Structure 1
Amino acid sequence: MNNTDEESDLEEFKEILPKDITVAIFCALSYESVAIKYNLDEEFECHPKAIGPRKYVYSFGRIGEHKVVIARPYQMGPVKAAQCAATVSQQFPNVRFALMVGIGAGIPRLPKCDIRLGDIAVSIPRDNHPGVLVYDFGKYESGGTFVLKGSLNKPPSILISADGSLEEDEMMNRSPLKRILKNITKQPGYVQPNSGDILFDETFHHVNKGNDCSGCEASSEKKVVPRAERDRKPGQPVVHRGLILSGSGVVKNPEDRDRLRQGHDDAVCFEMEAAGIMDEIPCLVVRGICDYADTHKQDEWHHYAAASAAAYSKALLLKVYGQDVEETRSMKEMMDKLEKKIDRTSNDVHNLKQEANDTKEGLILEWLTRFDYAPQQSDFLGRQQSGTGQWLLKSTEFQTWLNNSKQTLFCPGIPGVGKTILTAIVIDNLTTQFQNDSNIGIAYLYCNFRRHNEQKADDLLASLLKQLSQEKPSLPDSVKDLYDRHKAKRTLPSFNDISIALQSVTALYSRVFIIVDALDECRTSNGCLTKFLSELFNLQKRQGVNILATSRFIPKIVDHFKGTVSLEIHASRKDIERYLEGHMKQLPSFVQQNGQLQEEIKTGISEAVDGMFLLAQIYLNSLDDKCTPKAIRSALKNFQKQSPGSGENKKVQVLAHAYEQVMERINGQKPGFKDLAMRVLSWITCTKRPLNTVELQHALAVEAGDHELDEENFTQVEDMVSVCAGLVAVDKESNIIRLVHYTTQKYFEQTWTTWFPDAQTDITKICVTYLSFDTFGTGFCSTDGEFEAQLELNPLYDYAARNWGHHAHAVSTVMEQWTRVELLIQNLLENEKNVSAASQAMMASKSFPSYSQEVPRQMTGVHIAAYFGLVGTTMGLLKNGYNPGLRDSYVQTPLWWAADMGHEAVVKLLLEKGAELESKDPYYGQTPLSLAAERA
């Protein structure tokens, strides 16, 4: 780019609109902004509308995929920078984030931080700071110590991730920084200075002779701090990531430098504008080091330092893709949200207090239960065909239940008739009808046999308590008291505790409706279902609540509802025809053009399915590969022959036959599609809990032996769904990918060894490979924030850590399959760092504050093998020299874990190898023997 004749160049510039600008770059000085302009791949003209009295002069251009505005405050300092940032955010409403680029004063701390002139400082957050702190905002404590206070916003995650990618490039010696900097330093005035880079002792001040430090060098050679030669050529600056201290004054003596950074060992730089921008626009600060915040003059380094910062900013932006920027929230959206929030409150003080109160109440509700049924309600309601289900709402039974207190309505039905969708319709009807009546309480549950671990009796009751509590303007005192009682002891509430609180909260309403779907999928072990229903009826007896429940015709469940009003759920022919009509567009185009054929399809399927929505869906999906009207009509005749007729068993058999036919269609696909379908179905069928789409994408992308995830191996969600021929659905709100129905899961549970016999082996291999990735080689995360980041960056981490051993346990019973995973498992469990990372995710529970830190540390591979009951693996580790008496940080041995989890074979093995039976854990005084006795 040639900037020597701006007037002639401007004639060739492309004009863009303010809305096209997505990135802002702020510079305080002219030579800083010029360095940025030397980076531009293309220059633009733009004419933003002036806002207010401040009219800034901007430059515009493109760097990579981003259209940028380069802005300069009138003067240096945080106030002027804040004014400039606020104006930019108004004039360019689609700016997503900003870079603050320019020069700064380095903070050397040998040997930890050997920062040099021309190096680059970047405001990357660490555990104890957000990346930028205000250095002139704090307080003096006893002893004269100055402590920084306050906090600014963190840089946007998209820029932190881009910096992480650049750091990886640096480690692999392929960073573009040197190349970009070389292009800038070709320009007049930006070449690297020939004068030496000298660091003087902090006790030595500048000798006032001339504009350089030649006098300092001559008079005090002993005051020069010796530093080792760098093993890199000139023009290769080092990037220092850490804390940048920002304020309104220039730091120009070493005493102030060391005082202000005290307590912040990772502070790398001082500067003067970032404090004004960080809270106005999401921003990353980039500073080229031009001096050492001391009294010595290094003016000749200013231009080159600005060039270094500019080069880094371009390298960073080239790591950010335009699509990623589009997905971030625009400044306009952020400001609109802020304005709406301000409009809802009468004064700022009240708003802050309320926000703090809301945060505490949110923590209490999260402590009660993390499970939220609202996304499921939204998903199910979204699947409703408009106009269906009205027969239920208009029925005498429902109207009686609706208009009278202390009523129970039991709604049984055979599989596939739409009980869950009708439940969603009922809930939506209630919430719409009573949305303006704060005296009416509504709570609901969707039971799911895949979530038995999250739906024990106390979990279900806690969900009802949470929903009824959060409908109140403020959290009821009974719930706050419940939390306060257990908070100090770090315990969870008992079933009785929850019951008492639920009685109290229910009494705050004039009427309460409780709706429970799919009781047949509720956990029955340990009397869970009986205990839960007994408590519901007890609540009805004391508080007069109304209960509506759906279920299949399970005798034990039906017995619970003897003497109550019953209304059998069925899909009316009219509703099925509405459904078919609404989904006719998924069929080939020749069907769309043939109204008569569409009527035949509606009539043929609705007659054949005998009131089963699910069967209608399967039949309709099976027509999408038919190429002629004759083929359609032939399929309709086959449907009639397979009509389910009466009786639940007969209808279940017809569903199973329909699933067989779908699997034959899947097997008939091209090999690649068939393989993908089988892997998707095997994961969804055999995992221990439902997975979301991102988790499954990661699972499918991993290949045994990988050391890191290859994102080019990701499968699109649409492809996962399409190859499964209608057997798989994605819940839009929760992003859970699942089988379309309970009966689909039951079918595969009975037939998975036929369709995908290696499923457990393959899942074990993938989970163990994932946990063996190099990214987990850093070991135990030292803070909740670091752990949360690890979870976010590695979506399969949580599932793999908690469940790999359960899958491995299933594989261990088949020797032929076990030999395919044994070595992978052994290698993982002998890697101390990866074991530490896996054990943290395996044990972390959000029921407590600092949840990722309050788990056992120093767990070894033997502890984990014993925890999962892996006899062969435990034996192999012991043969390799592992001590069976090793204790974790909770002083618990592998024997303790094996006994606690009820793994008798591992207990026996460890005892044979000399493990101590009577060793107590110091917290509860339990021994492996007492744990085994509890299990007996």
Structure 2
Amino acid sequence: MSSRQDGFSGDNKLAINKALTSSVDDNPLGWVCALPKEQTAATAMLDEIHPHLPKPPSDPNTYTLGCIGRHNIVIACLPKGQYGTNSASAVATRMVGTFPSIKVGLLVGIGGGIPPKVRLGDVVVGTPVNQCSGVVQWDLGKAEAEGGFKRTGVLNNPPTALLTALTKLETMHEMSGPKIYQYLDDMGQKWPRLMPKYTRCDSLVDPLSGSDNCARESQHGEGHVHYGLIASGNQVIKDAHFRDNLNKSLGGNILCIEMEAAGLMNNFPYVVIRGICDYADSKKTKSWQEYAAAVAVAYSKELLEYVQPSDVDGERPVKDMLGDVLECVSRTETNVETMKSNFDRKGELDILEWLTPIDYGPQHSDNLKRRQSGTAQWFLDSAIYQAWMSSNKQRLFCPDDITARFLHDKSVGIAYVYCDFRRQNEQSAEALITSLLKQLSQCRPSLPGIVRSLYDRHRHRRTRREFDEISTTLRSVGAMYSRVFIIIDALDECQTSNNCRTRFIKEILNFQATCGGNTFATSRFIPQITERFKDCMTLEVRAHDQDVREYLRSRILQCESRLLASHSEEIQTEITKAVDGMFLLAQLHFDAVKSKKTTKRVKEALKGLAKGSEAYNDAYEDLMQRIEGQDRDSRKLAHDALSWINSATRPLNTLELQHALAVEAESEFDRDNIPFLDDIISVCAGLVTVDEESDVIRLVHYTAQEFFQRTWTRWFSDAHHGIATACVTYLSFDPFKAGPCSTDMDFEARLDTYPLFSYAARNWGHHLVLKDGIS
């Protein structure tokens, strides 16, 4: 018998378990390393090593499979010689594509410490601090006036399943100390060849140990575990002065500097664990790297003792959260270097902004996040959709609204608009066509020359571009793609004044005829719209029962209510029957049921569910009655919030609304009167929602707006009076009595400090006019 199996020595005490029938569906934890020595430490710390599994030819990653305790582990390392956030993101994304059941992960390896808080051989764990997620991308941002730099690298928090385990582990360390060094001893016994470098540090020298009497004792150095902020970027730092200035710019909260974490955080829910191997200064050496990697891995193993498999099962699969990223990552990787070399990004972004400042990207991203995993597959599999995807010059008309989030093909250009009854002032026919032009232009490797020519022709002469010019330019840019998809959501909400909707549809049809593009439009049944699409493919979009049940099952699990869980099947069945394919009703009905506190009340609510054509109206009536039944303060907060959301001339972001609701008849703004956003959403009983990407707070659906338009005088008859008063009061606060700001920087600071200032200054007169009934 051979003395080697899967490349590992048969003389060690680690069982190489080949009998275990692992599969890619075992809900493994993803484990990403940047260096081979980090991968060595991770592999050596496994309790068992599993056989290799087949992987797609398109995935160049190499995986090590195994387990630690009750957790299956998938380990991947960056390619030899590659570093940084982009490489880490690519490896993690491919890992999730090959192992789609991965839900959480670990990024384990080495990093540079920030003295004197952190010393060589310590462990740093990235955890949320103030407004930061635990990892900040220090080199992502924008240059500002007078040499300033504003960081924009905002990243997601680690998953809850790992954060709660970290809390428990920290407590156990306080009580009984860490097991890190026990695990290092175990690893040295199992893998004797690793012992000199990976499990002992008694021969290593800490250059700071002699300067502050902080020399480590014992063969392991007895390092410490720190929790806090990790700075991540694409640049190796070997300068103590630069390091300290970076730390100072981030409030002195940085514990560690590394090069991979920011590439994963937004698309891969994980925690970063770093062993400290240097101080990110000119004395940076590699002597501590193996030991630092080993202590980080040992800490990770101990952490997994406190991560329950059931907690991991409750997290969403990473692949669902990645969504579009997985399908277009290969295109992004091949294009990014071309874009960097060809683009004068500053000038080209100025031109794109000149075309239109309107950006549907945040709304598109919010829609992707709201997608319920496992639903709408019937739509993608339908013969009509498949025929539309595979042919050119096709139109697909879908009554009712559905986001066209599934349409991605790396060989085509995609542009989309979301018509919105609340944004009609900025959604003229010209604005909509210009937005499509901007999207198709910015997806090219370099800005199309015809767009630059349009800019040069009008910008320098300060002339106004014509609708026909925009249309001609759009057709020219569209012709640069092999295929083009135009997605128009909620076409029925496009304004009809000035013949806007008719002109827009006509131009889209002309574009399709000229460029061979495909059009995907969603709308309610409006005769004027359906007539224009009468010869195209039509697919009625209704929520299938299985989709509704999957949504309800997910909501019940999220509530963590024993009462709802005990009636799960009944709730799913009764609500599914009541909604009759209207997905929003499922949300509204569930919001009504989930507030019940006894079995009797749940059953009564299920029996009284509204059905048929008046179901929306009845559901909104019920929600308003729930609001009316709240305590006085909650009722007032809900009425004021809904008044602003319904009456504002444009959508408000969350800070604007919070300031609006805090205004009192005083000489200064009292920040102690600002209501919490969660309270605002809660008292509104499911009628409002927040778009996370754009931070806009809005009504849950256009049918809610229609309901309030019909019943306005019952709920908000004096809304404009209250809003006008609040705007004038806000503008009269003492800080504004000094007059206009002297510099742009001062003005920006004013807007940051008083978010409602811009809206109040522009719109107080509008509300005053409506308050007095002046035409």
Q: Find the residue that maps to 1:485 and give its secondary structure.
A: helix
Structure 1 counterpart of 2:245: 281
Identify which of 723, 740, 744 aligns with 1:763. 723
Identify which of 460, 466, 487 aligns with 1:515. 487
d(CA) in 2 for partners of 1:155 and 1:629? Answer: 53
8 Å contact from structure 1 (residues 605, 616) kept in 2: yes
Structure 2 counterpart of 1:629: 599
d(CA) in 2 for partners of 1:798 and 1:404? Answer: 48
Shift in Å, 1:787: 2.8
* Mapped pair 1:49 → 2:120: yes
Structure 2 counterpart of 1:471: 443
Structure 2 counterpart of 1:805: 765
d(CA) in 2 for partners of 1:511 and 1:576? Answer: 34
Letter in 2 for 1:798: S
d(CA) in 2 for partners of 1:546 and 1:153? Answer: 45
d(CA) in 2 for partners of 1:375 and 1:156? Answer: 19
* Mapped pair 1:566 → 2:543: no
* Mapped pair 1:556 → 2:528: yes
Letter in 2 for 1:795: P
- CA deviation digits over 1:564-602, x for unaligned, max 9? 1211111111111111111113557332552xx211111
Question: Aligned pair count?
Answer: 500
Q: Find the residue that maps to 1:430 and give its secondary structure.
A: coil
Shift in Å, 1:788: 2.6
8 Å contact from structure 2 (residues 394, 519) kept in 1: yes
Structure 2 counterpart of 1:614: 584
Identify which of 776, 789, 797 aligns with 2:736. 776
Equivalence map 1:727-876=2 (5 Å)? 727-813=687-773
Equivalence map 1:212-251=2 (5 Å)? none
d(CA) in 2 for partners of 1:390 and 1:345? Answer: 28
Q: Find the residue that maps to 1:623 and give its secondary structure.
A: helix
d(CA) in 2 for partners of 1:785 and 1:727? Answer: 38
Q: Find the residue that maps to 1:611 and give its secondary structure.
A: coil
Structure 2 counterpart of 1:643: 611
1:396/1:714 Cα in 2 relative to 1: closer, same or farther (>3 Å)?
A: same
Structure 2 counterpart of 1:855: none
d(CA) in 2 for partners of 1:780 and 1:518? Answer: 41
Shift in Å, 1:773: 2.2
8 Å contact from structure 2 (residues 113, 257) kept in 1: no
d(CA) in 1 for partners of 2:468 and 2:747? Answer: 34
8 Å contact from structure 1 (residues 666, 674) kept in 2: yes
Q: Find the residue that maps to 2:509 and give its secondary structure.
A: helix
**TM-score if structure 2 supplies the norm length?**
0.59
Deviates more, 1:792-801 or 1:599-608: 792-801
* Mapped pair 1:447 → 2:419: yes
Shift in Å, 1:494: 2.3
8 Å contact from structure 2 (residues 413, 484) kept in 1: yes
Sequence identity percentage? 46
Shift in Å, 1:609: 1.3
Structure 1 counterpart of 2:663: 702
8 Å contact from structure 1 (residues 580, 602) kept in 2: yes
Equivalence map 1:914-933=2 (5 Å)? none
- CA deviation digits over 1:341-380, x for unaligned, max 9? xxx999xx9999767x101111111111111112111211
1:579/1:156 Cα in 2 relative to 1: closer, same or farther (>3 Å)?
A: closer
d(CA) in 2 for partners of 1:453 and 1:774? Answer: 33
8 Å contact from structure 2 (residues 393, 518) kept in 1: yes
Structure 2 counterpart of 1:489: 461
* Mapped pair 1:660 → 2:606: no
CA RMSD of aligned residues (A): 3.7
Alignment gaps of 5+ in structure 2: 1-109, 123-128, 153-238, 266-331
1:338/1:767 Cα in 2 relative to 1: closer, same or farther (>3 Å)?
A: same
1:514/1:593 Cα in 2 relative to 1: closer, same or farther (>3 Å)?
A: closer
Shift in Å, 1:807: 0.6
Structure 1 counterpart of 2:67: none
Identify which of 348, 357, 368 aligns with 1:370. 357
d(CA) in 2 for partners of 1:763 and 1:19? Answer: 53
d(CA) in 2 for partners of 1:284 and 1:729? Answer: 37
8 Å contact from structure 2 (residues 135, 262) kept in 1: no
Structure 1 counterpart of 2:513: 541
8 Å contact from structure 1 (residues 379, 733) kept in 2: yes
Identify which of 347, 351, 355 aligns with 1:360. 347
d(CA) in 1 for partners of 2:263 and 2:245? Answer: 13
1:465/1:767 Cα in 2 relative to 1: closer, same or farther (>3 Å)?
A: same
Letter in 2 for 1:622: A
Shift in Å, 1:746: 1.0
Q: Find the residue that maps to 2:414 and give its secondary structure.
A: strand
d(CA) in 2 for partners of 1:459 and 1:392? Answer: 30
- CA deviation digits over 1:219-241, x for unaligned, max 9? xxxxxxxxxxxxxxxxxxxxxxx
1:759/1:339 Cα in 2 relative to 1: closer, same or farther (>3 Å)?
A: closer
Q: Find the residue that maps to 2:415 and give its secondary structure.
A: strand
d(CA) in 1 for partners of 2:244 and 2:451? Answer: 38
* Mapped pair 1:672 → 2:630: no
1:338/1:567 Cα in 2 relative to 1: closer, same or farther (>3 Å)?
A: closer
8 Å contact from structure 1 (residues 19, 94) kept in 2: no
8 Å contact from structure 1 (residues 587, 623) kept in 2: no
1:769/1:542 Cα in 2 relative to 1: closer, same or farther (>3 Å)?
A: same
1:484/1:337 Cα in 2 relative to 1: closer, same or farther (>3 Å)?
A: farther
Letter in 2 for 1:742: Y
Identify which of 713, 721, 725 aligns with 2:681. 721
- CA deviation digits over 1:428-457, x for unaligned, max 9? x222xx23x3xx111111100000111111
d(CA) in 1 for partners of 2:380 and 2:389? Answer: 9
1:623/1:560 Cα in 2 relative to 1: closer, same or farther (>3 Å)?
A: same
Q: Find the residue that maps to 2:257 and give its secondary structure.
A: helix
Q: Find the residue that maps to 1:718 and give its secondary structure.
A: helix
* Mapped pair 1:405 → 2:369: no
Q: Find the residue that maps to 2:594 and give its secondary structure.
A: coil
8 Å contact from structure 2 (residues 628, 635) kept in 1: yes
Shift in Å, 1:775: 2.6
Shift in Å, 1:720: 0.6
Structure 1 counterpart of 2:407: 430
Structure 2 counterpart of 1:392: 379
Shift in Å, 1:799: 1.3
Alignment gaps of 5+ in structure 1: 1-17, 25-44, 52-64, 67-91, 98-126, 131-151, 158-274, 286-323, 414-418, 645-650, 814-869, 871-902, 904-936
Higher RCO (Cα < 8 Å, 6 or more apart): 2
Shift in Å, 1:529: 0.3
d(CA) in 1 for partners of 2:544 and 2:339? Answer: 51
8 Å contact from structure 2 (residues 640, 661) kept in 1: yes
Letter in 2 for 1:673: S
8 Å contact from structure 2 (residues 718, 771) kept in 1: no
Equivalence map 1:309-324=2 (5 Å)? none
8 Å contact from structure 1 (residues 764, 807) kept in 2: yes
Bigger Rg over Cα: 1
1:47/1:671 Cα in 2 relative to 1: closer, same or farther (>3 Å)?
A: closer
Shift in Å, 1:334: 8.8
1:277/1:743 Cα in 2 relative to 1: closer, same or farther (>3 Å)?
A: same
